[in-house]
Structure 1
Amino acid sequence: MRKNELLEVTFKLALLIIAYSEELEKAGKYVIARQIMRSGTSIGANSRESQGAESRADFIHKLKIAYKEAQETEYWLLLCQESQTYPNPDEDLVSHLKSSLKLIGKIISTSKKSK
């Protein structure tokens, strides 16, 4: 079976998101924890859904949704980093998110060019 880097990176990211969301909930930061959980786990879900796309356009569309969710997650994490009352996200989490953004962006760009 061939390795799928996109699915591996976004799955690992989702696991890190879950752990950080749980940390936020323990700190009583429920609203942001839920926002991060929704957008952060949606990245992997949409990436995985793209693998069963019905067409190239559908594939690109699903990855664009994943990219938007990654951008939203980046926003929430930045808020947590800048807030003095929130636990900082782990560097591994931030690194995985940035890797996911780059990878998804590259796949979208390459897919558009190979029409």
Structure 2
Amino acid sequence: MNAAEFKERTMLFGLRVIDVVDALPKSTKGKTVAGQLCRSGTSVGANYRAACRAKSSADFIHKMAIVEEEADESAYWLEVIVRAKLLPAKRLEPLIAEANEIVAMVISSITTAKRKRA
């Protein structure tokens, strides 16, 4: 997958997260999780775009580590939603899988960048 395709994939991930956030109940639990998920989920694509503009390989690795953290945090909040029974697991399973795939791809990219740097 090239950079443009991954930019689009992370953008679509953020948009899907926003749809989930909109579907959450307006209770205290729902609002708390919604804010956390919205920030982490939309941050994935924004930070990937920043990584694409990195000034050095060290800067790229650092920024990609942020993408990894945000995608993993998004998976966490999606799992919280399932366990707290705020939305049906069936609805969130594909998005949790996507978050985990993004994490795996980012880790692979970081590993490759570190190997090339050494």
Q: TM-score, normalised by structure 2?
A: 0.86
Instruction: Identify unmatched segments of 5+ residues in structure 1.
Output: none
Q: How many residues align?
A: 111
Query: Segments of 4+ in structure 1 off by > 4 A?
Result: none
* 2:111 alignment partner in structure 1: 109
Q: TM-score, normalised by structure 1?
A: 0.88
Query: What is the SS of the residue equivalent to 2:113?
Result: helix
* 1:48 alignment partner in structure 2: 49
Q: Determine the C-alpha separation between the residues in 1 that align with 2:21 and 2:115.
A: 37
Q: Contact conserved, 2:78 with 2:92, CA < 8 A, in 1?
A: no
* 1:18 alignment partner in structure 2: 18
* 2:87 alignment partner in structure 1: 87
Higher relative contact order (CA 8 A, sep 6+): 1
Please identify which structure carries the higher helix content: 2
Q: Determine the C-alpha separation between the residues in 2 that align with 1:4 and 1:57.
A: 21
**TM-fit CA distance, 1:71:** 1.4
Q: Contact conserved, 1:6 with 1:103, CA < 8 A, in 2?
A: no
Instruction: Identify unmatched segments of 5+ residues in structure 2.
Output: none
Q: Contact conserved, 2:79 with 2:96, CA < 8 A, in 1?
A: no
**TM-fit CA distance, 1:103:** 1.0
Letter in structure 1 aligned against 2:73: E
Q: Determine the C-alpha separation between the residues in 2 that align with 1:66 and 1:3.
A: 14
The verdict on how the C-alpha distance between 1:74 and 1:3 changes in structure 2, with shifts beyond 3 A counting, is closer
Q: CA RMSD in A?
A: 1.5
